[in-house]
Amino acid sequence: MIGAEAEARAALAAIGSLPDAEIDIAQAALQLARIDAPALDWRAGAEHLTALAREAVAAATADPVADAGDPSRRRAVLAEVIHGRFGYGGDGDTYEDMANANLLRVIERRRGLPVALGILWLHAAEAAGWEAHGVDFPGHFLVALAGRGKVVVDVFAGGTAMDARDLRATLKRFAGDQAELGPASLAPMDRRAVLLRLQNNIKVRRLRDGDLAGAVACTEDMLRIAPDAAPLWREAGLMHQRLDHIGAAIAALETFLTLAPEGVQALRVRGLLEELRQRLN
């Protein structure tokens, strides 16, 4: 019988073959969480996501102004469902805890990182039939809700709306006093990019802890859902090299070159591949 982790990884590989618009972002995050927390009941997590979606649909139906397209009302409705009824909030006390990036742990604790909470917001908005997307804001993931206009939401702070002044202050807090708000700061993210940002939190924390094997495993799971992400293939190759996994390093770096054959990085990777191949001879 196939093991839970193998089953989850097969699900991730299937997600990797889908067009971005067809990805169920919350279910994908649930499969990622299964790998890191195999002892938890992921089916109970899936049932919780269904309950959250059902509440979002009911709340949307009960608010005709929101359902007609008022983005401010949509924000208020989803904030009440996610943070009010279900009790979710940002974990400011143990922010660096990797549990904050694992959706099963987030559901269990009702606490998480901005991107993990954002996935719940995107899940609820989609259930309600409302347009929403992640915002690739430096250092602090945000969600944008659209309709007749758009509102940017800080999901870590209970779903509060952010105006230009709030966004500028947050940007300077994370990117420095010289940073200025511009279109790039509010760039929309597709679903794969949101999932990669979620997992990048785990990868970075594992690297900080010296868990290189865990970091490369996390990177390979990211590649299952984003097999065309050339920079991740390069990262995987470099990590395998450091672990002395020469064959795996060569395979990953060759894939990188297939996806990104030109440029400075490609030139450096070709030189590294020559060295690695000589080590196999």
- Name the helix (H) or strand (E) containing 261: none
What pLDDT does 174 receive? 87
> Mind listing the pLDDT tens digit for each residue in 260-278?
999 999 999 999 999 999 9
Q: What does DSSP say about strands 188-189 and 132-135: parallel, antiparallel, or unpaired? A: antiparallel
**CA dihedral over 154, 93, 38, 210, signed as positive or negative:** positive
Q: Tell me: pLDDT of 1 over 80.
A: no
Label residues 136-174 b or e (16+ Cβ within 10 Å = b).
bbeebbbbbbbbeeebbbbbbbebebbeeeebeebbeee
**CA dihedral over 50, 55, 58, 60, signed as positive or negative:** negative
What pLDDT does 4 receive? 81
Residue matched to tokens 């990182």: 113
Mean of the per-residue pLDDT values of the chain: 95
This prediction has a pTM of: 0.95
Share of residues in the chain with pLDDT > 90 (%): 91
Distance CA(196)–CA(29), nearest Å, equals: 10
What pLDDT does 2 receive? 63
Angle at 212 between CA 210 and CA 216, to 5 degrees: 150
Q: Tell me: pLDDT of 258 over 90.
A: yes
Q: Tell me: pLDDT of 117 over 80.
A: yes
For 45-55, what is the mean pLDDT? 98
Strand partners, 134: 143, 189
> Mind listing the pLDDT tens digit for each residue in 159-170?
999 999 999 999
Task: Decide: 145 and 132 in contact? Cβ < 8 Å.
Answer: yes
Distance CA(15)–CA(201), nearest Å, equals: 20
The dihedrals phi and psi of 246, each to the nearest 5 degrees, come to -65, -45
> Mind listing the pLDDT tens digit for each residue in 210-237?
999 999 999 999 999 999 999 999 999 9
For 58-86, what is the mean pLDDT? 97
Report DSSP state, residue 158: T
For 63-77, what is the mean pLDDT? 97
Distance CA(90)–CA(83), nearest Å, equals: 10
The closest alpha carbon to 60, from 154, 121, 124, 7, belongs to: 124
For 177-183, what is the mean pLDDT? 85
Q: Is 176 helix (H, G, I), strand (E, B) or coil?
A: coil
For 3-27, what is the mean pLDDT? 95
Q: Tell me: pLDDT of 47 over 50.
A: yes
Task: Decide: 167 and 181 in contact? Cβ < 8 Å.
Answer: yes
The closest alpha carbon to 114, from 198, 32, 26, 222, belongs to: 198
What pLDDT does 93 receive? 95
Q: Per the structure block, which two tokens stand in for 173?
A: 């807090």
